Structure 1
Amino acid sequence: MLMRRIAAGFGISLLVTACSGNLENVETTAPAATAVSPEFSRYWYTGQAELSRYRLQQNRYDDIHPGEAVLVFVTEDFLPTKQVKIEGGETDETPTSVLKMNQIRRFTTGIYDYSINTSVFTPVAANQFPHTFKVVTSVQDWCGQTYTQLNLRGNKYQLEAHSYFQQEADQTASLEVVELEDELWTRLRLNPKNLPLGKLRIIPGTVAARLRHQPLRVEAASAELKPYRGVVFKPAQAGASLQAYTLTYPDTKRTLTIVFEQVFPYLIAGWEDTYDGQMRFGNQTYGSAKPLTTRAIRTTTLKSDYWQRHTRADTVLRQQLGATGFGR
């Protein structure tokens, strides 16, 4: 049975092929518990993902390294308790629609390269599910791999982390349910009016924490939203207005700004992340205290059912996106 029971009562039923090997025509639907506009449904429930490619300049090892980032946004039907995408068949819990973001970064540092992937699963029905269900980040480089996962379990975020570094090794923790930096990306795509403003308590981004070798914990921050007045970032359509959402961490002296279009679908034009190069292992600190800025600038956006576009002939779509792997 392919989830037809979800569609009862609100009449939106669209077929989307799952991002899975042999599974075809798994139904995904707008959630009954939220008022989804026709505009939202036409954009996010038409069987395609939004793919955006960014030219990346990554802060690492007291230097700025060239690379590439890709943001993949797509809606999926998700099991809130098991916290996995449903793939058809019988289930003992009711799925709900999430907006998933995959953020992929690839960049080189001298002779070797990095590959970083973050996945965020945020419910579309924010009135029923006010918190993001799950965040996963993996980091691969020529030294080894690290893995971080946050799962919403009751009134806590359960943290599981693994690293090849002795000082980090294998970790588990229970964190207070507060705002997640990683969910800001999906929340602004759903509705930027719901972004947190002013002073807040937040769990920092999993990528920044890993690259700086800082433990993931609740921190104090402040956030503001204002029109973007710079010249670095450009809207997809000439003349469109941009907004800048800025998150500042006073204790760790880090500032993240996400720039996005003011009107739906709130396409992300790029971001800047400024922090020093210090990395901490136990009682020892390495790297410079000089702040540098990671910057990602959007170059291309397209809509595609990319999970079906995996033949050699489909590389033409990769060329259209401009994706190379290392920002060439």
Structure 2
Amino acid sequence: VKLDNPEAAGNDRLPVFKLNLLKKFNTGLYPYSMMLSVFSPVDINNYPTAVKTAASVQEWCGMTYTQLNSHQNEFNLRWNSYFEDEGDNHAQFSHCILEDELWSLIRMAPDRLPVGEQKLLPGSFYIRMTHLPFSVQSANLSLTEDGDTRIYTIDYLSEKHTLKITFEKNFPYTIRGWGETFPGFDGKLLTTTATLNKTIMSDYWVHHSNADRAMRQQLDIPENY
């Protein structure tokens, strides 16, 4: 939750590292727009897991929304979907590793990334695109080095699903790219890859006027995209 008046907040104020992950693509005629936000406490020692995630998908057939909140030793999960068999539902899970929070952990403290066989809740986008039920799965996690970068691999054991994230060894541990592979509806393996192109450091939330559209050129993003 974004505080309306941070200076007046009480002792329950919790500084977080906020991750926004967006994907936009076309499927033939119509476009998809997906956004994931993850809120991970900066105080990792006392708050080792994300306190909230929220994911939404918009396309011409309809919209979906998924939100996960951490409460004591559980995750409370709610999702809303235009699909009849998915509908509006909720579930609870004991605390486990969230795939969605590992992106933030790479940026904050990559030496704390879990390795070996672990229990994970797969990423919100993966669940959305495959229409699989939310369930904790086993995965092998590994961290390797390649020159001036490190590669974090999540290899799920029960699904043909692998995610590899490449990031710089040194602070601020910039993510250089990633690749994700999983079966499509026809069973054939599909792979999505992404490579870092450009970055800027900006207080983006104050640049919301029409005059600020020109800043998008710094990232090679069309002004009206």
* TM-score with structure 2 setting the length: 0.95
Aligned to 1:250: 157
Q: Shift in Å at residue 248 of structure 1?
A: 0.5
Aligned equivalents of 2:215 and 2:169: distance in 1?
Answer: 28
Structure 1 residues without counterparts, runs of 5 or longer: 1-83, 230-240, 278-286
Q: Which amino acid aligns with 2:176?
A: A
Structure-to-structure mapping, 1:228-243, within 5 angstroms? 228=146, 241-243=148-150
Q: Which amino acid aligns with 2:110?
A: P
Q: Which amino acid aligns with 1:242?
A: T
Aligned to 2:173: 266
Contact kept in structure 2, 1:198 and 1:222, CA below 8 Å: yes
Distance 1:142 1:325, change over 3 A: farther
Quick check: which has more Rg, 1 or 2?
A: 1
Q: Which amino acid aligns with 2:56?
A: S
Aligned to 1:220: 138
Aligned to 1:140: 58
Contact kept in structure 1, 2:213 and 2:223, CA below 8 Å: no
Which of 195, 199, 213 pairs up with 1:297? 195
Which of 64, 87, 98 pairs up with 1:180? 98
SS for the counterpart of 1:101 is strand
Q: Percent identity?
A: 41
Aligned equivalents of 1:118 and 1:216: distance in 2?
Answer: 16
Residues 263-320 of structure 1 show CA distances to partners (whole Å, capped at 9, x for unaligned) of: 000001111010000xxxxxxxxx2111010111111011001111112221221110
SS for the counterpart of 1:96 is coil
Which of 3, 20, 24 pairs up with 1:106? 24
Aligned equivalents of 1:257 and 1:171: distance in 2?
Answer: 31
Contact kept in structure 2, 1:176 and 1:218, CA below 8 Å: no
Aligned to 1:324: 222
SS for the counterpart of 1:303 is coil
Aligned equivalents of 1:312 and 1:146: distance in 2?
Answer: 29
Aligned equivalents of 1:326 and 1:177: distance in 2?
Answer: 41
Q: Which amino acid aligns with 2:167?
A: F
- CA RMSD in angstroms, aligned pairs only: 1.6
Aligned to 2:120: 202
Residues 138-189 of structure 1 show CA distances to partners (whole Å, capped at 9, x for unaligned) of: 0111110111111001111000001000111011110110000000000010
Distance 1:325 1:109, change over 3 A: farther
Which of 184, 208, 212 pairs up with 1:310? 208
Aligned to 1:87: 4
Aligned equivalents of 2:199 and 2:69: distance in 1?
Answer: 30
SS for the counterpart of 1:300 is coil
Distance 1:113 1:211, change over 3 A: same
Matched, 1:189 2:96: no
Q: Shift in Å at residue 321 of structure 1?
A: 1.1
Aligned to 1:47: none
Aligned equivalents of 1:252 and 1:195: distance in 2?
Answer: 22
Aligned equivalents of 1:159 and 1:86: distance in 2?
Answer: 22
Aligned to 1:124: 42
Aligned equivalents of 1:289 and 1:117: distance in 2?
Answer: 26
Aligned equivalents of 2:150 and 2:191: distance in 1?
Answer: 19
Contact kept in structure 1, 2:214 and 2:223, CA below 8 Å: no
* TM-score with structure 1 setting the length: 0.66
In the alignment of these two chains, the number of paired residues is 224
Contact kept in structure 2, 1:151 and 1:158, CA below 8 Å: yes
Aligned to 1:158: 76
Aligned equivalents of 2:189 and 2:224: distance in 1?
Answer: 23
Aligned equivalents of 1:324 and 1:192: distance in 2?
Answer: 33
Aligned equivalents of 2:14 and 2:90: distance in 1?
Answer: 27
Q: Which region of structure 1 is more displaced relative to structure 2, 295-304 or 85-94?
A: 85-94
